[in-house]
Chains A and B, each alone.
Chain A
């Protein structure tokens, strides 16, 4: 049982480049989330989705876009990467509403030069 899988695990970008992080879950969860984790700041919510075809903004959505075309996948896109987006990104999913027990992926470390 894979749970939540993120790809890629590591990526280095130059300022202005674009990229997409893919999150896939095989638990049939309705709710999916993208977080970023920075030293001393904990986990901050970027965007989330309460079901296929829906997305909503979290605490720090600027500079990111997301799509949930299929229930099992949640994509996070950076259209024009900036050094401030250097971070570790975590995808999570949950079965219940209101941010129930979150199942996290292993994380994707992104460096923007």
Chain B
């Protein structure tokens, strides 16, 4: 039930781009993305709904491919503040919602 995220970890230099993938074995109603900094609570980034458009704010955006049951999070021109662990959450209806195991992103100067 738990979605699979890839990669598990990535290290970037400031200004570089990254893509984090989230894949489910079941049909999805929506995909949610959160970021968690070390020792802090997860913070909501965005929700992508079935049939909805690609979303984004600032230089972080995401897409949702319903047919492939996949979502991707795009971070462009990464900043030091982007460091943290990114989690996708997948909603499958029937009160089923599962977080992935997370992708650790480290941005270095």
Given contacts A43-B87, A56-B95, whether A102 and B44 have CB atoms under 8 Å apart is yes
Give Cα distance in the complex from A107 to B89, angstroms: 19
Given contacts A90-B41, A107-B41, whether A44 and B47 have CB atoms under 8 Å apart is no
**Residue B97 CB within 8 A of the other chain:** yes
Stretch in contact with the other chain, from A13-21, A74-82, A93-101: A93-101
Interface size, chain A (Cβ < 8 Å): 20
Give Cα distance in the complex from A9 to B51, angstroms: 40
Give Cα distance in the complex from A35 to B30, angstroms: 20
**Residue A110 CB within 8 A of the other chain:** no
Q: Cβ of B97 and Cβ of A44 under 8 Å apart?
A: no
Give the contact-size bracket for chain B: 20 to 34
B87 touches which one: A42, A45, A56, A106 (CB < 8 A)?
Answer: A42
**Residue B91 CB within 8 A of the other chain:** yes
Q: Cβ of A104 and Cβ of B102 under 8 Å apart?
A: no
Q: Which of B32, B89, B98, B100 has the most CB of A within 10 A?
A: B98
Q: Cβ of A42 and Cβ of B44 under 8 Å apart?
A: no
Give Cα distance in the complex from A94 to B100, angstroms: 19
**Residue A59 CB within 8 A of the other chain:** yes
Given contacts A40-B101, A42-B87, A43-B99, whether A98 and B29 have CB atoms under 8 Å apart is yes
Q: Smallest distance from the beta carbon of B52 to chain A beta carbons, Å?
A: 14
Give Cα distance in the complex from A105 to B99, angstroms: 17
Given contacts A40-B101, A56-B95, whether A101 and B44 have CB atoms under 8 Å apart is yes
Give Cα distance in the complex from A46 to B2, angstroms: 14
Q: What are 15 inter-chain pairs, A to B, with CB distance below 8 A?
A: A40-B101, A42-B87, A43-B87, A43-B99, A44-B99, A59-B98, A90-B41, A90-B42, A98-B29, A98-B97, A99-B91, A99-B97, A102-B34, A104-B43, A106-B40
Interfacial residues, chain B to chain A (CB-CB below 8 A): 1-2, 29-30, 32, 34, 40-44, 47, 87, 89, 91, 93, 95, 97-102
